[in-house]
C-alpha cells in the first residue's frame, strides 16, 4: 500500500502503520489525535503527511522522514515550530490555525509553500534566514 487515508474518524492516537513498508501518503486529519507519538513506526518513505484538525500540541517523531515533501499540521494546538531540521526535502509546510508565536524553519531550504495564517505571530522574523 502506498496511500492510507484515515481522515474524519474518531481516532485518538496515531495507528501503527509499520506493516506498510512503502507508504507514500498518510492522512489522519480530522480526528481526535492529541499526540504524534507512534509516527516513528511509519515508513521513512513517506512523502506526504497530513495531521490537520486534531489536538496535537507538539511536533514530534518525524525526524526520519527525509523524503517528506508535504507536512500539514494546520488546526491543532501547536505553539512552537520544532523538530523539522531533518526534513531536508520539505516543500510545503501548512501550520495555519495554531498558536505559534514565532517562526523557526530550522534551516529548511526547499520550502516553496508556507502557510501560517491564524496564529499568534507578531513579526516575520525567522523567514529572512531561509528566503533572503
* Cβ contacts of 129 within 8 Å, gap of 6 or more: 105, 107
What is residue 106's predicted lDDT score, i.e. its pLDDT? 83
What is residue 129's predicted lDDT score, i.e. its pLDDT? 56
Q: Three cell numbers at 50?
A: 497530513
- How many CA atoms lie less than 13 Å away from 23 in the CB half-sphere? 21
Q: Mean pLDDT, consecutive 10-residue segments, the chain of 132 residues?
A: 98 97 98 98 97 98 97 98 96 98 90 97 82 49
What is the value of pTM for the model shown? 0.95
Instruction: Report the CATH number at residue 94.
Output: 3.80.10.10
Indicate the number of domains in the chain: 1
Q: Which domain holds residue 69?
A: 1-132
What is residue 132's predicted lDDT score, i.e. its pLDDT? 47
Amino acid at each position: 500500500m502506498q496511500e492510507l487515508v484515515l481522515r474524519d474518524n474518531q481516532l485518538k492516537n496515531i495507528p501503527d502503520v509499520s506493516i506498510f513498508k512503502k507508504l507514500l501518503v498518510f492522512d489522519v486529519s480530522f480526528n481526535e489525535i492529541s499526540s504524534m507519538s507512534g509516527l516513528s513506526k511509519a515508513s521513512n518513505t513517506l512523502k506526504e503527511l497530513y495531521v490537520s484538525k486534531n489536538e496535537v500540541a507538539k511536533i514530534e517523531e518525524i525526524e526520519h522522514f527525509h523524503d517528506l515533501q508535504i507536512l500539514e499540521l494546520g488546526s491543532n494546538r501547536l505553539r512552537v515550530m520544532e523538530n523539522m531540521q531533518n526534513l531536508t526535502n520539505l516543500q510545503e509546510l501548512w501550520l495555519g490555525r495554531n498558536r505559534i508565536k514565532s517562526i523557526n524553519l530550522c534551516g529548511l531550504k526547499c520550502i516553496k509553500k508556507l502557510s501560517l495564517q491564524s496564529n499568534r505571530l507578531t513579526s516575520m522574523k525567522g523567514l529572512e534566514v531561509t528566503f533572503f
